[in-house]
Amino acid sequence: MTDLHLKFTDEAQATEALDGYEGSIDTIGIIYKRTGGTDEEPEMTALPGWHVNVRGPESEALKAFAVNVATPMRVWA
């Protein structure tokens, strides 16, 4: 069993790559980072890619999309 943070170019690529995966899939989608503004009206910028976390059996095919994340936005409980 393994946990992976995955980054795809878009949702279609993620859907194709994850088709038939037998583990748990947590779709995050687009991640936004605060790049300015105020507390009341923050300015947000979309980071490139479509993001998904998986937990389950190891998959060599999915390892090609794995990224190292210093501070994950979501983790498995």
- For residue 59, is it within any domain? yes
- For residue 76, is it within any domain? no
Considering only CA atoms, which of 20, 28, 16, 7 is closest in space to residue 76? 28
- For residue 70, is it within any domain? no
Residue numbers of the domain that contains 12: 2-63
What is the number of domains present in the chain?
1
pLDDT of residue 2 exceeding 90, the answer is yes
pLDDT of residue 75 exceeding 90, the answer is no
pLDDT of residue 66 exceeding 90, the answer is yes
pLDDT of residue 73 exceeding 90, the answer is no
Q: Please tell me the distance from the alpha carbon of residue 7 to that of residue 49, in angstroms, as a whole number.
A: 6
Q: Report whether 72 contacts 62 (CB < 8 A).
A: no
- For residue 40, is it within any domain? yes
The pLDDT tens digits of the residues spanning 8-57 come to 999 999 999 999 999 999 999 999 999 999 999 999 999 999 999 999 99
Considering only CA atoms, which of 16, 31, 22, 27 is closest in space to residue 64? 16
3-state secondary structure of 26: strand
pLDDT of residue 64 exceeding 90, the answer is yes
Q: Please tell me the distance from the alpha carbon of residue 34 to that of residue 64, in angstroms, as a whole number.
A: 28
